[in-house]
Amino acid sequence: MNSPITGTAAGVPFTALPPDGDENTPLIVTWHMLDAPRSDAAFAAALPMHGLPAWRVHLGMPMCGARMVDGSMDAGLALMREDVLMSLLHPFVRQATEEFPAALASLRAQLPVDDGPIGVLGGSLGGAVALRVLADTEIPVFAGAIVNAAVRMRSVVDLFPGDYLYDTESEKAVDSLDFVPKADVLAERAPLLIVSGERDHPDLRADAIRLAEAMGDRSELLSIPGLEHPLAEEPGIEPAPQLPSAREVDAGLTAWFRRHLARTG
């Protein structure tokens, strides 16, 4: 089993897991959660997808992992208290999406990956990034997957204490991150595996089911018994042993991407 490779791609930190054997293989890119695992290294440990004939490159989200301010999540927590949607959730997804094309070009320059369509995977808030790459960019994708994802950002905002007071700008922002109405676009772009923990937040699980229904036969819903929202134990910043529930998610993702990689070969 090859050791992880760490680096930066156009300023974005990454943890890359090489395939066994041949170089110049396809690329799968991931974005982690803000819950545990909340860094690229920790996400790579939770969902390594070992044995795939592809590079798995786990990108760091803004202000997480190597991009934490003063080595802690305190700055992010301050943004959450300021305005959870307009200071934290929406700009994090926007930044991660906007910086991806340059990061992808840098990864292709640094790693022996092929120049064909990529796979995309996101967990929780990182799921919204993966969905935005599918819905709002033209980057070729052979298959996508999301885990306990932020399918509708209103549902994520509702998880935080108090009643959020929307205005015109925040209504526009939150609606731009509602992917159920974009199901037809997503279905045209790539097949999508929707992984949902049966003990995830009820509204997030309901959104996952709605998206799967809206995408029809271009999606598959994989329900994981006993899985809550996180995929790792706290603090979730450093790599940690894989939890049994994450192992089950990992197996489903590995089988999904292996199937679609075979179709691209």
User: Residue 63: which pLDDT band, with cuts at 50, 70 and 90?
Assistant: confident
Predicted model pTM? 0.95
Supply the CATH classification number for the domain 5-264. 3.40.50.1820
**How long a stretch of residues is the chain?**
265
Residue type, 122: G
List pLDDT tens digits, range 190-249: 999 999 999 999 999 999 999 999 999 999 999 999 999 999 999 999 999 999 999 999
Domain ranges of the chain: 5-264
CA 68 to centroid of chain Cα atoms: 18
The whole-number average pLDDT for the span 89-110 is: 97
- Asked if 172 and 85 touch (Cβ cutoff 8 Å), the reply is no
Q: In what order do the strands lie in the sheet with 5-9?
A: 5-9, 12-17, 55-59, 27-31, 118-123, 141-147, 192-197, 219-224
Q: β-strand 12-17 against 118-123: which pairing, if any? A: unpaired
What crossing angle do the helices spanning 100-110 and 90-98 adopt, rounded to 10°? 40
- Is pLDDT of 23 > 80? no
- Is pLDDT of 22 > 70? no
Average pLDDT value for the chain: 94
Q: What percent of the chain has pLDDT over 90?
A: 87
- Residue-level pLDDT at 1: 64
Would you say the C-alpha torsion 156, 131, 236, 61 has a positive or negative sign? negative
